[in-house]
Structure 1
Amino acid sequence: MEEGWEEAFMNALEEFEQHTHDQLSRRNFLSRTSMGLGAAAFSSLLGNKEAQAATGAGGALGKPHFPPKVKRVIYLHQSGAPSQLELFDYKPKLEQMWGKDLPESVRKGQRLTGMTAGQSSFPLAASYYKFAQHGQSKMWVSELLPYIAKITDDATFIRSMHTEAINHDPAITFFQTGSQQGGRPSFGSWVSYGLGSDNQNLPSFVVLLSKGRGGDQPLYAKLWSNGFLPSVHQGVVFRSGPDPVFYLNNPAGIDRMSRRRMLDYLAKMHQEQYKQILDPEINSRMAQYEMAYRMQTAVPETMDISKEPDYIFDMYGPEAKKAGTFAANCLLARKLAEKGVKFIQLYHQGWDQHGNLPNDIKTMAKSVDQPSAALVLDLKQRGLLDDTLIIWGGEFGRGSYSQGKLTKENYGRDHHPRCFTIWMAGAGVKKGYIHGETDDFSYNIVRDPVHVHDFQATVMHLLGIDHEQLTFKFQGRRYRLTDVHGKVVKPILA
């Protein structure tokens, strides 16, 4: 049966070769040669770095622009926008002015969402939760985050982040791709394209998803898309359960040896096609097939946490053994970091609290507090924090006034792009450092603003990349992650 299948495949290959040869005209050939070479086999001979990047064989840069301080990034994105007022930005002035209207001199006519633009008043709401100072930096941290409070001396807190985006989808897209509109390559894709992979058996860009509670903003694949970069650089979603990656396992009746022979024959067909039309995406697609073959062994091993000792599960918390939780994904992020995955993106949904905020944010904080801190400590005890950067934060902040009815026990907060807090820990950033300051209402920045493009430029810098120099020409224009903006935030650098 297998011999007959191989003979049929070879016959199809011969027919394909003849067909592509017959279809190739001199004009077609000349019009397509400008597309460049993309095959790994050819790139090794020609030394074409961008060609290697198109197949995942290496980065387009060849080597970083300057010595990197970071080998890999773990980005813990808190989807839905956590309130800085309940977590990191303590404002006692709000307690004094509880229920009073936000002064117009503070609001300054800022654009509001449709959810609060029609409110006749903007009553100020202090946090329901208490704050205390922690670490040598005396960083204010809410009682909701007792574990993160213990690692403040390992982290840099940026309290002066700001963005132009006021709604979730464009704001998350902006953080992840450098543009509020979809279609651009994601952060991880740019890193993969520029620097390549450190493990040929796993993708250089992996995505893990989790939910803290239901009913939150949806996430779309455009957030980890390769955009116009070669498709081999798109983020690969690892899911919980017996099939972490869709369509990775062999179909029933096909063993690993048969799969190998099929890929070899398919590679011959792609090589013939590439010779004729010189489309680098052909080789990128073949590289993905080969990666999938290698992942059949590497992924199950990596996703298996059953051999972790009990003290590790205790460190990450009670949900660490439950597949698909944020805690379990943080543990997987550590394993992926050990395996050399360059960009590990976690998305945790549930932070969109327009109402019932005191109750809902307590649930969300509990789901992330212990595992976030554990990831820092786990990497630290293994010596991996010295070359790993951890990022924690959402797409914008929350306003200091209540959305809807205000009581001491219940209130909500609308979107607030003018200031919010993120934190970073690990390689290349200062320990126990606080950057930026907001006014008494956590409404406007009064010192050291950091824009989304500045944040992106800084992370690229830590990876050894000049954000202005890593570009890709598409439709006649050269694009980069930071568009035409962004500067490195040097004060936070170690």
Structure 2
Amino acid sequence: MTSRRQLLQQASAGFGYLAFAGMASGEGRMASHFPALAKRVIFLCMRGGPSHMETFDPKPELTRRHGEPGRNKGTKMLGSRWKFAKHGQSGIDIVELFPELARQADKLCVLRGMHTDNENHPQALQQLHTGSFQFVRPSMGSWTVYGLGSENESLPGFISINPLTALGGLSYYSSAFLPASTSATLLGNANQPGAKLQLGNITNSRLDNVAQRQQLDLLQAMNRDLLAQTGDPRVEGIISSYELAFRMQGELPRVMDLSSESKATLQLYGADKSPTETFGRQCLLARRFAEAGVRFIEISHMEWDLHGSLQSGMTRNCSQIDKPIAGLLHDLDQRGLLEDTLVLWGGEFGRTPDDATQDGRGHNNKGYSMWMAGGGVKAGHIHGATDDLGIEAIDGKVHIHDLHATMLHLLGLDHERLTFRYGGRDFRLTDVKGKVVKEILA
């Protein structure tokens, strides 16, 4: 006869991975502070810092000064090798490397005056995700789920596809001191083909649903006893995580199954062939997750840190993401999802106008570009500017804290009121700073 201890060990083994992977509870945390323009976020994270002067911020003066001495000894000014053109009725400048995205120009709200506090990748990425590069703080996805919960009780509220796991990357998706249930569920990694993307241990080969439910009931009864004795919120997070993990066994594989998508849809995303297949499938999954009620979805694309291979790297990267992102925007729009889905694109910082190799750019946190689309932002709009060489934001400056404040505002959350009491003080995503960029609100 199986003992109570053995049943507990079996149940823990069966549900442990899913629980500690950071499942987000489907229960809402609180009502929004005011009517929301967006219900969810899809963040397209370009790890490494895309060059703004090779994407959305043309610099003719830099091109004119190509080859002149740079700001630092041994460097020369480096003009862009690619041409820009104005697209759509809005006339937004987009580099020729993005021909498909250029057709979606009138959906974009380009932020050319971005700036942040650190020019090192780990710290800048951490500030982009959490608002702080000095301390471990909750991810913006965790804050979103903490404030609004998930729209689907059988799926996580926060999912990261192809997450950044190196250089302290797991902290970018952590709930930190927020309830553990608001952490991200991580799908895949940088080396995993899109067709094989899946969550580990989502099925149980030993037990059917009835037997799993019996084991889980026993485990949860013991967890509730422990919660009553200790009041530890981590136990509460584990309880909700186990329950969500059980429900996910039926729901998540269905949402991740792309076999129901038409050939035309796969082609729209470039999910049917290389070089766009991997990122195309990830973007298509993002749409399916958004449609199913996931609150915050992040997709990462790597290798934008182009110090000595700018020409080949930009060509490769843009060819991989151009069609998938254009397909995502078009598909969200035609399904009526773009109006309440905030799409955010960008990396942790920008690049410098000068270089020693003449085929690369250094790190630049003082001025760079990101863009938003849908979710209540002005469509076909450019906000802010960098100087003539792209060194520093000089107009319409948007700090990372301002970006976070604006994102929360679009979700119906006041960044100054969305707080959590920890260590004797009230913490928030924007720390003690940040302002909503009202100029970009539709």
Structure 2 residue 86 is matched with structure 1 residue 133: yes
Q: Conserved in 2, the CA contact under 8 Å of 1:241 and 1:323? A: no
Match of 1:59 among 18, 23, 28: 28
Contact 1:399 1:413 in 2 (8 A): yes
- Unaligned 5+ segments in structure 2 are 9-22, 189-193
Per the alignment, residue 67 of structure 2 pairs with 99
Residues in 2 aligned to 1:87 and 1:203: alpha-carbon distance in whole angstroms: 33
Secondary structure of the 2:129 match is helix
Equivalent residue for 2:413?
465
Report the CA distance shift for 1:236/1:322 in structure 2 as closer, same or farther (over 3 A).
farther
Matched, 1:478 2:426: yes
**Match status 1:238 vs 2:238:** no
Amino acid at match of 1:230: P
The offset of 1:427, in angstroms, is 1.7
**What is the deviation of 1:465?**
0.3
Spell out, residue by residue over 1:235-283, the C-alpha distance to the aligned partner (whole angstroms, 9 max, x if none): 0012356672223322x42222111100011111112112222222212
1:397 is matched with 350
Distance 1:94 1:268 in 2: 66
Aligned-pair distance for 1:120? 1.7
Matched, 1:326 2:279: yes
Counterpart residue type for residue 357 of structure 2: K
> How far apart, CA to CA, are the structure 2 residues paired with 1:437 and 1:208?
31
**1:88 to 2:62 alignment:** no
Q: How many angstroms apart in 2 are the aligned matches of 1:321 and 1:178? A: 35
Q: Secondary structure of 1:484's partner?
A: coil
What pairs up with 1:165-314 in 2 under 5 angstroms? 165-209=118-162, 220-239=169-188, 244-250=198-204, 252-314=205-267
Please give the secondary structure, in 1, of the residue aligned with 2:388: coil
**TM-align CA RMSD:** 2.2
Q: Corresponding residue for 1:35?
A: none
Normalised to the residue count of structure 2, the TM-score between the two structures is 0.91
| SS of residue paired to 1:275 | helix
Q: CA deviation at 1:166?
A: 0.5
Is 1:448 the counterpart of 2:367? The answer is no
Q: Is 1:361 matched with 2:317? A: no
User: Which 4+ residue blocks in structure 1 deviate beyond 4 angstroms?
Assistant: 10-13, 216-219, 240-243, 318-324
CA contact (8 A) 1:91 1:440 kept: yes
Q: How does 1:31-70 map to 2 (within 5 A)?
A: 56=25, 58-60=27-29, 62-70=30-38
Q: Provide the residue aligned with 2:16 in structure 1.
A: none
Q: CA deviation at 1:95?
A: 2.0
Alignment check: 8 A CA contact 1:330 1:372 kept? yes
Whichever residue aligns with residue 360 of structure 1, its letter is G
Q: Secondary structure at the match of 2:260?
A: coil
Matching residue's letter, 1:80: G
Separation in 1 of the partners of 2:106 and 2:276? 30
The offset of 1:422, in angstroms, is 0.6
Is the alpha carbon distance of 1:12 and 1:397 closer, same or farther for their aligned partners in structure 2, counting shifts above 3 Å?
Answer: closer
Pairwise CA distance, 1:55: 7.9
Task: State the one-letter code of the partner of 2:217.
Answer: D
Deviations 1:294-327 (A, max 9, x none): 1111111011001110110111115569998211
Q: In 1, distance between residues paired with 2:271 and 2:335?
A: 22
Contact in 2 for aligned 1:210/1:349 (Cα 8 Å): no
Counterpart in the other structure of 2:435:
487
**What runs of 5+ residues in structure 1 fail to find an aligned partner?**
14-53, 104-118
What secondary structure sits across from 2:141 in the alignment?
helix
Q: What amino acid is the match of 2:4?
A: F
TM-score, structure 1 as length reference: 0.82
**Aligned match for 1:143, one of 68, 89, 96:** 96
Q: Distance in 2 between matches of 1:273 and 1:405?
A: 61
**Partners in 2 of 1:193 and 1:389 — Cα distance?**
18
Give the Cα separation in 2 of the matches to 1:269 and 1:329.
39
Deviations 1:8-34 (A, max 9, x none): 228988xxxxxxxxxxxxxxxxxxxxx
Aligned pairs (5 A) from 1:410-449: 411-449=359-397
Which amino acid in 2 is paired with 1:202? L
The equivalent residue for 2:13 is none
**Change in 2 beyond 3 A, CA 1:171/1:225:** same
Find the residue that maps to 2:113 and give its secondary structure.
strand
Deviation for aligned residue 1:219: 6.5
Q: Which amino acid aligns with 2:387?
A: D
Deviations 1:353-405 (A, max 9, x none): 00120111110011111111110100000001111110011110000001x23
What does residue 4 of structure 2 align with? 9
Shift of 1:125: 0.5
Instruction: State the structure with more CA Rg.
Output: 1
Amino acid at match of 1:466: D
Counterpart amino acid of residue 470 in structure 1:
L
Identity of aligned residues (%): 41
Q: Deviations over 1:323-357 (max 9, x none)?
A: 98211100000000110100001111111100120
Q: Aligned pair in 2 of structure 1 residues 11, 365: CA closer, same or farther (>3 Å)?
A: closer
CA distance in 1, matches of 2:419, 2:336: 33
Task: Look up the SS of the partner of 2:79 in the other structure.
Answer: coil
